[in-house]
Structure 1
Amino acid sequence: MNTIPVEIFTEILSHLPPASCKSARLTSRQFNAVLAQPTFCTLRGFLDADAAMATLLQTLHDLPGRPRAMWSPHCSVPRR
């Protein structure tokens, strides 16, 4: 796999279904590097006060759709 150009590798992995991305990231460091979401992609937008406020308001509007529980491998699974 080291001989495949990163652009082609990225294109191939972009066709994975979203549910498979977590498992694929655990396959190799190269898979993880390609599939990992950029952590600070919106940081640049926070230098502009208007863009920062728009991002925060958008996040607030998205809150009902976000998961409410956090999970850690060091914790037990919550019971319903």
Structure 2
Amino acid sequence: MDDLPTELVVQIISYVPKTSLPQLRLVSRLFNNLSIVYVFSHIPQWLDYEASHRLVLTIAHDAYNRPAAMWSPWATAPDEPCDNIFLGIVWKVLVGTNVPGSNREVVALTAWNFAALSGREDMDEKRLRTGQNRFWMHRSYAKGIEEVSTKPCIGVVKSVEMVGMLEVDCMDSGS
């Protein structure tokens, strides 16, 4: 399967229903790498302050589906570093390549150097951290997870949706 032309795999992926995309990663490495953009196509909306705030507010104002315990939509993001898995997803979706580097130099992708490496000056550390926090908040509410901690159920969400989904190595040696 890894020998198929990239253009053919992209065509195949475009016809797969969105609900089946997460399972598509099991077909081959090529399918896994090319399906990331489709699986996480919603990530850029979480990096937009106003759009992500509106999405969290819709949950807060939904009397029937609102979780019993919920963070305030106006709460600031916890002052914790951005998760490497989230940064890898954002990089793949926005930039579409692996993290730059050469054989002699290893570049670690962090929220601090994301803007410089990607050439997107608007992607500063605060924006990435806020986007990550709102994404995890929304995912925990949408999945109906009861416990909300300082990072809203990040361990549960990551174990269910992220671990194994990506083969993005945030320490890319350029190979």
Question: Are 2:55 and 1:62 equivalent residues in the alignment?
Answer: yes
- Percent same amino acid at aligned positions? 23
Residues 21, 35 of structure 2: 8 Å contact kept: yes
Q: Compute the displacement of 1:15 (Å).
A: 0.6
User: Distance between the aligned counterparts of 1:14 and 1:20, measured in 2?
Assistant: 11
- Mark the CA change 1:6 to 1:18 in structure 2 (over 3 Å): closer, same or farther: same
- Change in Cα spacing, 1:3 to 1:29, as seen in structure 2 (3 Å) is closer
Higher RCO (CA 8 Å, separation ≥ 6 residues): 2
Report the RMSD for the aligned CA atoms in angstroms. 2.8
Q: CA deviation at 1:3?
A: 4.0
Map 1:1-80 to 2 at 5 A: 1-37=1-37, 42=44, 55-63=48-56, 64=58, 66-67=138-139, 68=141, 69=145, 70=153, 71=156, 72=159
Question: Under a length normalisation based on structure 1, what TM-score does the superposition of the two structures give?
Answer: 0.56
Amino acid across the alignment from 2:12: I
Q: Segments of 4+ in structure 1 off by > 3 A?
A: 64-67
Per the alignment, do residues 30 and 5 of structure 1 end up closer, same or farther by CA in structure 2, a change over 3 Å counting?
same
User: In 1, are the aligned partners of 2:2 and 2:29 still within 8 Å (CA)?
Assistant: no
- Equivalent residue pairs, number: 61
1:9: Cα distance to partner?
1.1
Partner deviation per Cα, 1:23-79 (whole Å, 9 max, x = no partner): 11122211110101369x85xxxxxxxxx7xx2111111223643134335xxxxxx
Name the structure where helix makes up a greater proportion of residues. Answer: 1
- Structure 1: which 5+ residue stretches go unaligned? 43-51, 74-80
Matched to 1:35, the amino acid is: S
TM-score, normalised to structure 2, is 0.29
Post-superposition offset of 1:12: 1.1
